[in-house]
Amino acid sequence: MRFLKINWPITLCISFLVSISLLVIYSSSPEQATLQAIYFVIGLIFYLFLAHFDYRILKNSITPLYIVIVMLLLFTLLLGFESRGAIRWIPLGLFNIQPSEFAKPVLILLLAKFWSDHAPTWKNIFTSFLWIIFPGFLIYKQPDLGTFLTILAIWIGMLFAARISLKKVLILTIITALVIPFVWLTFRDYQRQRITSFLSPGSDPLGTGYNIIQSTIAVGSGQFFGRGLGRGTQSRLQFLPEFRTDFIFASIAEEMGFLGSLLIILIYLYLLSYCLKKAEGSADAFGFLILFGVISMMFFQTVINVGMNMGVFPITGITLPLISYGGSSLISVLICLGIAASVIRYKRTIDTDG
């Protein structure tokens, strides 16, 4: 019976968010909702298994997992499936997988192990960056700027968890500011246009500024109670692009209004605060760092996606965790939350042993 013990706070948050996602997707495409439900069942199996699996055992598998994910990313660039100018997927018959999504839990585990064994010296900071920059570069070349930025956010968040000094933070901030202009030169034209259109979407309302304008219209038109499921004009009449993936929050805001949007944000806040509270009480450095890595990933993706939908941030293609349509993204997040649930569960064993 001990195996059947479930972490109800995390599980209920997952259930609520995925249920909202399936409702919104079903209202526009029952077929895609069915496929997303299948992905959820697969992800839920991973979640329940990992939640009851002692996360400390994973330490011995991190290096092989890292090698596998790098090989998959290389394979994706060489022989992957191209869609809309990006090569991010490996075709597997009835469905495709996106290895860059599964790089997130692997890199969280890798950085957690690294920082649990090393102090945040300049040498170790540089070494940790080298560990993530190679798979990050392969992801950037797909191109997948959103996932690349998410990996950087995980690295930065776990640096803070490793208790980096304020002096090092200031120096890294200055270095980042100096590097940004050179990074800008590596962007593709459409990536630059996304950023410039974010600053002035009205300058090209039918071109580069179209997505932001339609998204903000959708969010505002929902008002307080929303138009009702399946009645959103922006998404149903195809004015709002990618309304099941990148802009699903705008679609929800239009159909469920301010109340529905607020409910989603509150669920995310509860989930993140719950994991943060458990991380603060952790006696195990490896587990503490895992929780902080998952929190960093979830927080960054949620804030950027919601801000992107509201016109506050540039469009970067970052999905909304557990809600955006996509099997690899959904399963990856459930894997991360399963490991987080394992840390919380087995923390009690560590405390008792101590």
Task: Please name the amino acid found at residue 299.
Answer: F
Strand order in the sheet with 81-83: 81-83, 86-92, 95-97
Residue 161 CA, distance from chain mean position: 18
pLDDT at 202: 66
Query: Residue 203 is encoded by which pair of tokens?
Result: 């300058």
Find the distance separating the first CA and the last CA of the chain, reported in whole Å: 24
CA-wise closest residue to 333 among 305, 303, 304, 294 = 294
Render pLDDT for 46-63 as a digit per residue (tens, 0 to 9).
999 999 999 999 999 999
Fill in the amino acid letter for 235.
Answer: S
3-state secondary structure (DSSP) of residue 323: coil
Instruction: Go through the chain and tell me how many residues it has.
Output: 354
Q: Which residues are CB-contacts of 129 (< 8 A; sequence separation ≥ 6)?
A: 155
Least confident interval from 110-114, 218-222, 272-276, 304-308 = 218-222
Tens digit of pLDDT for each residue in 75-86? 999 888 777 678
Question: What residues have CB less than 8 Å from 240, skipping those under 6 apart?
Answer: 214, 215, 218, 232, 234, 247, 250, 251, 254
Tokens of residue 231, six digits: 């009645």
Cα–Cα dist 325/246, whole Å: 9
Cα-based angle 103, 211, 155 (whole degrees, multiple of 5) = 25
Confidence of residue 354 (pLDDT cuts 50, 70, 90): very low
Which 8-state DSSP code applies to residue 4?
A: G
Contact predicate 316/194, CB 8 Å: yes
pTM confidence score: 0.93
In degrees and rounded to multiples of 5, residue 227 shows phi and psi of: -85, -15
Domain ranges of the chain: 2-349
Question: What's the DSSP call for residue 83?
Answer: E
Q: Which two tokens stand for residue 288?
A: 């503490």
- b (16+ CB within 10 A) / e for 139-178: bbebbbbbbbbbbbbbbbbbbebbebeeeeeeebeeeeee
Name the residue among 337, 235, 265, 287 with its Cα closest to residue 7.
337
The one-character DSSP state at 55 is: G
pLDDT in tens, 306-339: 999 998 888 888 999 999 999 999 999 999 999 9
Rounded-to-integer distance, Cα 146 and Cα 251, Å: 20
